[in-house]
Amino acid sequence: MKNFDSLNDRIIAEPSEEPKIVIKTNLDPKQITEENPYAPKKGRVTPAFESFFKGDEA
């Protein structure tokens, strides 16, 4: 067990290997950069950024 007094971050859990549920609705913006505070202000959207926010479209 980690010493909680020496931690300097907020997350102490290991990443889960379980499946995630992502729900998209008709209220979500069509463009991933629209109303996205993490989108770059200038320049191109990287493929990693795009795949993270688009997710798997089935």
**Buried b vs exposed e over 10-49: b needs ≥16 C-beta within 10 Å?**
eeeeeeeeeeeeeeeeeeeeeebeeeeeeeeeeeeeeeeb
Q: Tell me, yes or no, whether 5 lies in a domain.
A: no
Q: How many domains does the chain have?
A: 1
Q: Tell me, yes or no, whether 29 lies in a domain.
A: yes
Q: Tell me, yes or no, whether 36 lies in a domain.
A: yes
Q: Tell me, yes or no, whether 11 lies in a domain.
A: no
CA–CA gap between residue 39 and residue 12 (Å, rounded): 27
C-alpha closest to that of 35 among 24, 47, 43, 27: 27
Q: Tell me, yes or no, whether 7 lies in a domain.
A: no
pLDDT digits (tens, 9 = 90+) for 4-58: 666 666 666 777 788 878 788 888 888 888 888 888 888 788 888 888 887 655 4
Predicted confidence band of residue 2 (pLDDT cuts 50, 70, 90): low
pTM, 2 dp = 0.47
State which residues form the domain around 43. Answer: 19-58
